[in-house]
Structure 1
Amino acid sequence: MECLFHGDMQLSDKALNAYIHCIRGEEHLLHREGGKVFLENTFISSLLKRDGDPKVFLPMNIEDFHWYLAVLNAKKSELKGLERQIKLAAKHKELYQGKWSNLDVASWPVIEKITTQMQTDGVSCGLWMINYMEYWTGSSLSDNVTQDDITMFRFKLPAILWDSRLNTKKGHQNLDHNMDEDGESSSDVQIIDTPLTSTNTQELMFVLCTYIMGIDNDKYLKKHWIQSTKPYPISLSLQKLKDILDVNKPMDTDCFNMVVRMIACNDVLFLLEDKFHYMDLQFCSITKFGRDPRLRAKPDINMLAKLLECWPDMEYDVSDCKQILLPFSFMGHFTLYVLNMDTRSIYIMDSMPIPSWFKGDHPSMHYIHNIHYIANNMNAAMELANPTWKDDIYMWRRLVPTWVPRILNWDLSGFLVINFMHDWNGIRLPCICTNGNDLRTKFLVELLKYKDNESKDNIPEEIQEIIRHIR
């Protein structure tokens, strides 16, 4: 099952066979246009020793590199290939002659039914193949499947296999749909009742994601699952939580600010000798960075100074903090600026590589406009929050560390910056995961585990039980 939990891995034949075994158990999928079909698994050494089915669906593999589906139609003496490179040997015996009138399979015509490229990555061919097997009617696909659908299907597949009535390892839990207050099912995915039999963190996380991705009730998606009113109100709807798992969407501002709040109010940090002050995206919001300067009003310095106050239930003064962690966002691209008060240094942590067209003498010059903007506003705010402040941040040394992980996915920058803030020890970052699915899933789980969540009662008990078991 491990291959199902990593978005950059191809599916193993065991995982493919498990799903094929599940769809074999659905009677309606064994009857397609032209009659009954047989859904072969990947072990096809005796693939043509079947005498009762005029059609055979064959999973094919090219040198452990690529999966595709071939459909043999004995009634029409026709071999339908859903991809190129189909070559079959013609040594077939013991086939029922009434339905297999022509045993010379090598002479059957090859008809390509799908000629346009549908797969856009390098690892999901197995998922495409089993979807073809499920949705091929005999002449066309019964459903319009996209790469996004396939990516989400990877999330669902572990839960489908685990939840299958054919799964003998599951036990005998009673399954039921989660119902909302109007008696409507909020999801087409079933969740096991407590107590849970699994304690595998990855398995539980994927069951959780499967449940959330399966919810399509508009009214239910508007419910607030997470809420906090200190130091200012933030509410996260189920739709926003669902969007976290959407690989085509960047970090949401409210979700980001909520997690910063969770980091900043962590009791463990209060015990540390070197205090850090964590800021959220309120700085960008108040200063209105990115707007035309001619249309941008002068920021309220009192509001900026308020951002330098200690977080609720945390007792410290910004003048006592060794470092200030300031996240910056523009058009969905997130960067972290760490202001080190002791060394008068600015660490610039950007997960996106500096573009090749940049010709500056020092990498920090790529960020000079942002630094100038941050320095002007932070200097004014610091003078108000700390009367002893007499420095100019713009004149500080600027560092662009080479050990910051780099990726090319703009939409993941917010998830990485949150990890930078959480894992920063004042000197450098540890090794940080850059896998998109893992980053998004971990972020969602951390939000749902928020101990001071004021809307916890809106989260179904089944989900709360799963969260309690995730370590």
Structure 2
Amino acid sequence: MAAILLSSDLNKRRGCLLYKNEKEVDSGSPSDVEILENPTDSNKRKLLHVLDDSEVVYEDEEGPITQADLQRWFVDDWDKRAPVKVSTDGCTNDFLMVGLSTKDMPVTKADSIDVLCDYIMAIEDDTTLERTWVRSFNPFKIEISVKDLQNILTTTQYMILRCFDMAVRLLANKESRRPKEEIINNRNHYMDMRFWRMVGFGKLPKYHQDPTTEELAKTLDCWPSMNYYITGCRYVLMPWKFNGCHALFVIDHVKKHVTFIDFTPTQDWCKHMPYKRFAEAIIMASKKYKIAYNKKRSGWADDIFKWEHIIQTGVPIDLRGFNTSYLVLQAMAMWGNDRRLKFVGDAKTLRRNFVIDLLSYEDNSCRYAIPANIQQRLVDIAKKD
């Protein structure tokens, strides 16, 4: 009966942790307590409704389950069970998978991701939180700690810049795996936040050091996992940041226009002319972009500020702005496929999938610093694709 109840589709707690917090445990009332003569004697405990021991009460793939089997599993052998040991940082396989049975309760990919991310959020040990679980050196060093992963999973936190830069690196890595015929006509160049930092948008001149031509040109370099030259790219995808929120400038070198993709509400001061919001940014970006692109293509002197400007419509609006970075990354991944942009608006799903992508990154030099039980869960998740 217990097996039937646990695996039933009507069980709302199916696939969930047994107890997420103390509030979920019903302590009951004193009137619910029955005093036994010898509570430590397991031989005196019996099932409430005893049927014939040989009577079959349930059948599974391994055969029939009798009343005697239930008596043995849930009563006679109960006191013999081994306690679950959890270390100070909670890095045990039993803790990670408690409440999930791969036999009686089939686990979906989403379930596995939820369990793994819940585990990461439950880590409280200071030493573990400071550990680097993701590191990449090419084209420059980025390190992401366990604490950074927790910040990603917190839906009320902005994405930090190094995590965004790492996400763009993952995009370029995925792009390199696409069939060549799919990208030959509309090749994209993904920029990370280095260009935005070099421009110094929103900073006073005395707090900003102007970059060199070589530094600007590096933001247009081919990604290590790919083989192209910037002049062969139709689109340059330039992420930008306004007051903590991300936006995207799509520079089309064929049609010579710039598309602005903004996921925040239009502010009152520019509702009559929405382009005003981007005016200062595109002026500053245009000056530095001309320098960078001219380094790659001698004699190029176009001014993208003078190109046609378009504001992308039909995009989701993030009222609080915490998830604009994830929406920008989605836009970058979808741009150029000649299909309508379809965004995933579930912030929790976006963030959790991003954490899995980070931990599964094949060029992660810290992959083997990740606990073995988590590595195994990542392998299991990958198999469910």
| Structure-1-length-normalised TM-score | 0.61
Measure how far apart 1:17 and its partner are.
Answer: 11
2:188–2:336 contact (8 Å) kept in structure 1: no
Question: Matches of 2:329 and 2:262 in 1, distance apart?
Answer: 12
Q: What are the equivalent positions in structure 2 for 1:355-434 lying under 5 Å apart? A: 355-361=267-273, 363-425=274-336, 427=338, 429-434=340-345
- Mapped pair 1:303 → 2:211: no
Structure 1 residue identity aligned to 2:281: N
What fraction of aligned residue pairs are identical, expressed as a percent? 26
1:68-98 superposed Cα distances (whole Å, 9 cap, x missing partner): xxxxxxxxxxxxxxxxxxxxxxxxxxxxxxx
1:186–1:216 contact (8 Å) kept in structure 2: no
Q: What are the equivalent positions in structure 2 for 1:26-425 lying under 5 Å apart? A: 30=27, 35-36=30-31, 185-186=90-91, 190-192=95-97, 198-266=106-174, 267-269=176-178, 271=180, 272-273=183-184, 274-361=186-273, 363-425=274-336
Change (3 A) 1:406 1:428: farther
Change (3 A) 1:440 1:18: closer
Measure how far apart 1:207 and its partner are.
Answer: 0.5
Measure how far apart 1:438 and its partner are.
Answer: 1.3
Change (3 A) 1:15 1:184: closer
1:188–1:214 contact (8 Å) kept in structure 2: no
Provide the alpha-carbon RMSD of the alignment. Answer: 3.6
Structure 2 gap segments, 5+ residues each: 1-8, 35-72, 75-80
Measure how far apart 1:316 and its partner are.
Answer: 1.1
Measure how far apart 1:284 and its partner are.
Answer: 1.7
Change (3 A) 1:384 1:19: closer
1:215-244 superposed Cα distances (whole Å, 9 cap, x missing partner): 000001111111110000001111101111
Question: Matches of 1:22 and 1:465 in 2, distance apart?
Answer: 23
1:260-311 superposed Cα distances (whole Å, 9 cap, x missing partner): 0111133224722132111101112222221113543323222011111111
2:172–2:225 contact (8 Å) kept in structure 1: no
Q: Which moved more, 1:244-253 or 1:262-271?
A: 262-271
1:224–1:236 contact (8 Å) kept in structure 2: yes
1:199–1:469 contact (8 Å) kept in structure 2: no
* Structure number with higher relative contact order (C-alpha < 8 Å, ≥ 6 residues apart): 2
Structure 1 residue identity aligned to 2:354: F
Question: Matches of 1:178 and 1:233 in 2, distance apart?
Answer: 34
1:192–1:462 contact (8 Å) kept in structure 2: no
Partner of 1:3: none
Change (3 A) 1:309 1:462: same
The structure with the greater share of residues assigned to helix is 2
1:371-393 superposed Cα distances (whole Å, 9 cap, x missing partner): 11111111111111211412111
Question: Matches of 1:381 and 1:20 in 2, distance apart?
Answer: 52
1:407–1:434 contact (8 Å) kept in structure 2: no
Structure 2 residue identity aligned to 1:369: E
